[in-house]
Structure 1
Amino acid sequence: MTNPSEPELLRADADKRLGQHFLFDPDILRRTALAAGPVKDRHVIEVGPGPGGLTRALLREGVTKLVSVEMDDRFADALEQWPETQTGRFAVERGDATKMDWNALIERHDLKPPVMIIANLPYNVGTPLLVDWLTKADWAGEMALMFQKEVAQRICARPDTNHYGRLAVLAQAVSKTRIAFVLPPGAFKPPPKVASAVAILTPLPPEDRFDDIEALQKVAAAAFGQRRKMLRASLKGILPSGLQAEELLTSVDIDPKRRAETLSQAEFRKLTKAWAGAQQSSSNC
């Protein structure tokens, strides 16, 4: 039931340049808000709130503090008029999320880690934002992120499947991943051309997380950059002078003839540690 004291959602047209597709169904919005777990008493970041449907759902479910990042002034202007901004419970951060200094935002709004990230992400920035959070956001807690279905599948994919690649390796190095639910194009206004899905990323315990995610990103990018090639060929471009790919791979019991999509998370971790060690040894010579 609509609360008459709540401001109306702004029914402005979506901007295709910003990859905007809006959700208005209250049941879907509530499912999204709670997909990664209860938000009551939590600090939450939202990206691309648009007319504020998911924003409203998060506030209704009891978040202690919500910061929504919006670069479209039409929506930012409207959201800043919401009564929760006057109490300090809700803030609008204007700007491009892909250029955001997240640590500065955390400090500016006095957010207390672990901070949840819950968002219906604009399609054109979802993947780079996630990679940025995976590699740099040590403050991040649970994430519930709406992506194109194929991107969500890539995040949650397992070895030897069609969608397994760099994104799965990075995401699963620091989190447990799953797809919460899938939505057809018709659930959005305007409808996109493809289905969407909410991916859930739950942080692994500190002892289970890989501690050199930036090195892992470099190794995974090289390995999957030429995914049809054997690892002994695809890794050549990142090896220090004098080190052969066969030597690196056999040192961690990986057949040089294998391809990247066959490697498990554990094997990627071993390979990355060996590569990082070789890089360090080379720089010390």
Structure 2
Amino acid sequence: MQDRETDGHRARKRFGQNFLSDPNIIRKIVDAIRPQPGELLVEIGPGLGAMTAPLIERLGHLHVVEIDRDLIARLHERYTPEQITVHAGDALKFDFSSLTAMPDGSPSADREPALRIVGNLPYNISTPILFHLADFADQVKDMTFMLQKEVVMRMVAEPGTEEYGRLSVMLQYRFRMGRMFDVPPGAFRPAPKVMSSIVRMAPLPKDQLGAKDSVLFGQIVTAAFGQRRKTLKNTLRSFMTDSDFEALGIDAGLRGERLSLEQFVAIANHCSARAQN
């Protein structure tokens, strides 16, 4: 028997497909996004179009990134080119900056960030997608996603909590994070085994980022959480000496999850300055 809520489409595990079907939740999410006519907005993984239709209704035109060929065909059948632009392919490989390029293909560096990104992100690859999207923060106004609640809790976690880790530090360094509300499993078809949450990410101005060398900052954060049970003295052995920790007033006997974002920035800048001397 065909399931009306999935319109006969069988959810594919390899794409992490769980289709949003609760009209009240859909309305609540779209209201939270607050799309305005004429805005440049791209939806990642539109699926069966639960959010696509109301977004197009408010925007006029919507960009979507979809990997499933069957769903791409459905989108082309349902919407006109004036309503939707379908970018067929993997969101993990998609160049989101291409949407904000000038007509001649050059980047729009002198303009205010205009791109808005939304989506029910595939839970099986949510972390890689988030890091991929962070690379385009300069072109983005904001991002609103539905993710597994456990992932969202890690994204907004504070130092000293069990959820706090590399994902927390790296995203909070680049974005103002806000957990909005939860979405129960029953809002999907098929229903996942986990609770979901809506999170909003707004890129911070570059002059607020703090780290003189963002690559080094990322390397230090990755090392600090690479072996969570080990202390900073061990995990940052290749970056910091005992005297370096003393100079910064940071206890080398702590573990990475005890450090604040500001302390990670201080370590990175200390290492950067020392390398230049």
TM class by shorter chain equals 0.7 to 0.9
- Tell me, yes or no, if the aligned pair for 2:138 and 2:203 is still in contact at 8 Å: no
SS of equivalent to 2:199: strand
Equivalent residue in structure 2 for 1:22, among 9, 19, 24: 19
Q: Distance in 1 between matches of 2:275 and 2:198?
A: 38
Q: Which moved more, 1:145-154 or 1:268-277?
A: 268-277
What is residue 5 of structure 1 aligned with on the other side?
none
Counterpart for residue 73 of structure 2: 77
1:189-211 alpha-carbon deviations (Å, 9 max, x no partner) = 10111111111112224432345
1:75 is displaced (CA, Å) by: 0.8
Report the secondary structure of 1:258's partner residue.
coil
- Aligned pair 1:107/2:107, yes or no? no
> In 1, distance between residues paired with 2:275 and 2:94?
30
- In the alignment, what sits opposite 2:124? 124
Which of 250, 257, 269 is 1:254 aligned to?
A: 250
1:192 aligned partner = 192
The Cα of 1:38 is off from its aligned counterpart by 4.4
Asked if 1:94 is matched to 2:94, the reply is no
- Please tell me the residue identity of whatever aligns with 2:81: Q
Contact 1:49 1:55 in 2 (8 A): yes
Aligned to 2:229: 228
Asked if the contact 1:174–1:203 (Cα under 8 Å) also holds between the matched residues in 2, the reply is: yes
Identity over aligned pairs, percent: 36
Between the aligned partners of 1:274 and 1:77, the Cα distance in structure 2 is: 53
**CA RMSD, 1 decimal:** 2.4
Structure 1 alignment gaps of length 5 or more: 1-7
Structure 2 length normalisation: TM-score? 0.86
- Alpha-carbon separation, structure 1, partners of 2:31 and 2:101: 25
Is the 8 Å Cα contact of residues 116 and 142 (structure 2) preserved in structure 1?
yes
Deviation at residue 102 of structure 1 after TM alignment: 2.5
Aligned 1:1-285 pairs, distance under 5 A = 10-60=7-57, 62-63=58-59, 65-83=61-79, 85-87=80-82, 89-107=83-101, 113-210=113-210, 212-237=213-238, 239=239, 244-279=240-275
| Counterpart secondary structure, 1:99 | coil
Task: Check the 8 A contact 1:67/1:90 in 2, yes or no.
Answer: yes
- Conserved? CA contact 2:35–2:55, under 8 Å: no
Whole-angstrom distance in 2 between the partners of 1:200 and 1:141: 11
In structure 2, the CA distance between the partners of 1:277 and 1:64, relative to structure 1 (3 Å rule), is farther
How far, CA to CA, are the matches of 2:102 and 2:220 in structure 1? 34
Distance 1:26 1:208, change over 3 A: same
More displaced stretch, 23-32 vs 225-234: 23-32
1:105 Cα shift?
4.5
Deviation, 1:35, is 2.5
- Residue type of the partner of 1:59? I
Letter in 2 for 1:266: E
Q: Aligned-pair distance for 1:221?
A: 0.9
Contact 1:148 1:196 in 2 (8 A): yes
Distance 1:106 1:257, change over 3 A: same
* Deviation of the 1:37 alpha carbon: 4.5
Unaligned segments of structure 2, at least 5 residues:
none
* Cα distance, 1:280 vs structure 2: 5.0
Equivalence for 1:4: none
